[in-house]
Amino acid sequence: MTTIAPGDHKAYMQLALEQAQKSPPKPTNYRVGAVLVDSAANEILATGYTLELPGNTHAEQTCFMKLAATHGVPEENLKSVLPAELALYTTVEPCSERLSGNLPCVERVLRLAGSIRTVYIGIIEPATFVAENTGKRSLEQAGISVVHVAGLEKEILEVATAGHVKG
């Protein structure tokens, strides 16, 4: 995998953006990329993007599903096999509501609270599908830091909304 210097948050976000670009453009979702990093070892544990796996999967969900499969555990037991200092990089704020009925990404992240210490985001989720995403607030209330990584907002929004009808 790619070698990124410890603490180079923009480079990790760029990698997440590269993941997002692999997602098929659709008018009904955002193209999001995510990267899960073992902060202590500066090791990328998993990457993911929207619709990478079957079942209307989101980027963060894909990271967790792939990692759970690698470790041979159900996703809900993932915390038991992960290092204690994780960082999640995601191009768009984790969702707090899924119109598809799937578990919201923020709930998936909260299952890993204590291991995931920081979530780095490229942009706050636009209100296109869910009027008020409470992902950032829910994470912060659980003691998970949410940090905006500046500098790629325009590119992230362009990728996220590819396939949307421009009004």
| Active-site annotation holds for 60 | yes
CA distances from 113 to 16, 139, 150, 166 (A): 21, 9, 24, 37
Q: Are 156 and 18 in contact (CB under 8 A)?
A: no
Partner residues linked to 92 by β-bridges: 123
What is the rounded end-to-end Cα distance, in angstroms, of the chain? Answer: 39
Partner residues linked to 89 by β-bridges: 35, 120
Length reported for the chain:
167
Give the active site residue among 60, 76, 107, 153: 60
153's CB contacts (< 8 A; 6+ apart) are 122, 123
How far apart, in whole angstroms, are the C-alpha atoms of residue 13 and residue 149?
7
Q: Which residues are tagged catalytic?
A: 60
